[in-house]
Chains A and B, each alone.
Chain A
Amino acid sequence: MLYALKIAARYLTANLAQTALLVTGVAVGVFIFIFMSALIGGLAEFILARTVGDISHITIEAEDADPALLIAPQGQVLFVAEPGQTRTATLAEAATWLPLIAGVPGVKAVSPQITGAGFLTRGAQVSQVSVSGIEPGRESAILDLDGYMVEGSARLGSGLIVLGRELADDLSLSLGQSVRLQSSNGITMVLTLSGIFETGNGSMDKARAFVSLSSARTLFAMPQGVTRIEIKLFDLNAADATALRIRALTGLDAVSWTDGAAQLMEALDAQSQTGYFLKGFALLTIVIGVASALLLSTYRRRPEIGIMRAMGAPRGFVVFVFVTQGALVGLLGGIMGAGLGYLALLPFPSREAFRPGTLPLDITQGSYGLAITLTVIGAILASILPARSAAKVDPVTAIGQ
């Protein structure tokens, strides 16, 4: 069938302007396909980064211990609880789990934390805060605290506290000044403001205080264990599977971020559906374009097809000549469109540098190979109808015209 390929190629080169136009049309379709892929992929990336980029992908929280049940001889059930003890649960053996969890494939960072509620007081100003005690050195493991710092440093140490911009302003607190923190356990510490961050997220900037894990131990009277282990993954889409794995490995109740994010997932899903729809249309345009161009070409070449058939060319040969033309047009247009798409996406910032207000086009999500493959398949399918009509040309009427 090498010979059919030669004839197909000759037909394409014989009408260079027309072929160039057709290939360009296909390339535009492929370009749109790639642009849509990069946009939808980038948009999802962007939205996820904005909404879940700063949260824990998998969280293990201490379960409140079930009250001990006693079954009395008369069939009554009694439960035993210790009044006044609001939080009995700790992840006491956290230290033993941490290296195990850190070793699970796909885990990027693990952050053991002690969290709780408290009041910040400075002069007459009082603010309720949720306190996170984090190991020094892991301040940016989950939330990119370093990246959000506007003053001072994110580095936590004994006697230091890091607050959000709004909260610091509310308390008229500036860097280096001290503030009193009273925990829900009634323990008070005086801490020095060593850093101010601004995330743009209101509840974070207004009501969150970061202290070192050891300060939190004192504040919440927890000499050992932690209340919470936050885990960051390389790929946040792997959270469900990895959570299952950690659960199986440790027996702890590891919860994926997707558990509470059904709406977000739905929205992203709807967005990618829209993407498929648009990409489908781009492909359809390619198929229709190739089909109509080839149909025109088979019509123009009817006498030649008649001659070839009279000279002993089988129907299959004629089909092959036209399908090969379709495939070549698809391949050329696909490669050209993919190349143009890549070049057009180059000037846009990479996914790590997405900023609000710009189109989040992710050059790595252009689906170049897929675009070319689908285009070639589409062009081949598109050429089947013209090829079949070419094979049906009656030599007598075609030559006699």
Chain B
Amino acid sequence: MSALLEVNDLVKTFGTGEAATRVLRGLDLTLNTGEMAALLGPSGSGKSTLLTILGTLMKPTSGRYQMLDHDLIAAEDRELTEFRNRHIGFVFQFHNLLPDFTALENVIFPTAVRDGRETPAARARGADLLVRMGLAERIHFPTAKLSGGQKQRVAVARALMNSPELVLADEPTGNLDRASALQVMELIGQINREEGTTFLISTHDDKIAAACQRQIVVSDGVVTG
């Protein structure tokens, strides 16, 4: 198995002086291509912080981050934006979709923003992904009218749109009932097996953690297991 990404000695401190909180304290982590990993740890342990740093949405206070031969610490905003667009997909817990757009329009956003327009090819792939997510009936639905579980499945489809190597999901099922949560996890597992996409999923749910091949536990700002 080859390493997809590697972080070393990652430190993240919020605030300065007296109010400074050291959230990550020299964290090391390697994720291999094709892995499906759960990110566990008590509330406030820094799971979301780690995911946003891995997603290049935030820079660490110090440390190294290599992914696909890119030094993502040194890179500037423009380069990181393009890197995210091509190589990283996101699924968040809240505020996931653009409310004034249909399911399909949301799914193809990453491709459309890359191409500068919505191509027929992008529409075809987006519709295909929605069908795979079991949303064939909801392709042209305004997202505001979708249920929570349907919204998260649209978000998963969008995360996969540009065929990224890595998908980061921060409590993707945190807002869903058990049935919907398992359905979303099922689909993620299927994509992981069929396409070899690497997933890192933070969760508090043992059942969901158990559905992953690997469990990574963060506590006191380092990986402990």
Chain A residues with a Cβ under 8 A of chain B: 1-3, 6, 10-11, 14, 303-304, 306-315, 317, 395-396, 398-401
Contact = CB atoms under 8 A, between A and B. Distances in A.
B158 A311 contact: yes
B81 A308 contact: no
A395 B90 CA distance: 12
Contact of A306 (B95, B110, B116): B95
A312 B95 contact: no
A399 B109 contact: no
Interface in B51-92: 52, 55, 57-58, 77-78, 81-82, 84-86, 90, 92
A260 B48 CA distance: 82
A309 B78 CA distance: 11
A311 B118 contact: no
A396 B58 contact: yes
A312 B85 contact: yes
B95 A310 contact: no
Given A10-B100, A396-B57, A308 B109 contact: yes
Interface residues of B, number: 33
Interface string B105-136: 00001101111111000000000000000000
Contacts of B92: 307, 399
Nearest to B51: A396
A51 B118 CA distance: 64
Contact of B116 (A3, A14, A304): A3
B13 to A, nearest CB: 15
B94 interface: yes
Contacts of B86: 312
A3 B100 contact: no
B98 interface: yes
Contacts of A315: 77-78, 81
Contacts of A303: 94-95
A313 B111 CA distance: 10
Given A312-B81, A315-B77, 9 more contacts: A3-B112, A3-B117, A303-B94, A309-B81, A311-B84, A311-B109, A312-B113, A315-B78, A395-B57
Interface of B: 48, 52, 55, 57-58, 77-78, 81-82, 84-86, 90, 92, 94-101, 109-110, 112-118, 158, 162
Nearest to A15: B100
A308 B78 CA distance: 14
12 contacts: A14-B100, A304-B98, A304-B99, A312-B82, A312-B84, A312-B85, A312-B113, A312-B114, A315-B77, A396-B57, A398-B95, A399-B94
A135 B19 CA distance: 99
Contact of B81 (A3, A313, A396): A313
A14 B94 CA distance: 21
Contacts, number: 74
A253 to B, nearest CB: 68
B116 A311 contact: no
A1 B90 contact: no
A308 B94 contact: no
A132 B222 CA distance: 108
Contacts of B95: 303-304, 306-307, 398-399, 401
A310 B81 CA distance: 8
B101 A311 contact: no
Contacts of A314: 78, 81-82, 113
Contacts of A309: 57, 81
B55 A308 contact: no
A304 B110 CA distance: 14
Given A399-B92, A399-B94, A401-B95, A312 B110 contact: yes
Contacts of B55: 310
Contacts of B101: 10
Contacts of B97: 307
A315 B77 CA distance: 9
A306 B158 CA distance: 15
A296 to B, nearest CB: 16
Contacts of B112: 3
A10 B102 CA distance: 11
Nearest to A311: B110
Contact of A311 (B58, B90, B115): B90
A396 B100 contact: no
A382 B104 CA distance: 33
A308 B98 contact: yes
Given A3-B112, A399-B92, A399-B95, A311 B77 contact: no
A45 to B, nearest CB: 49
Nearest to A400: B48
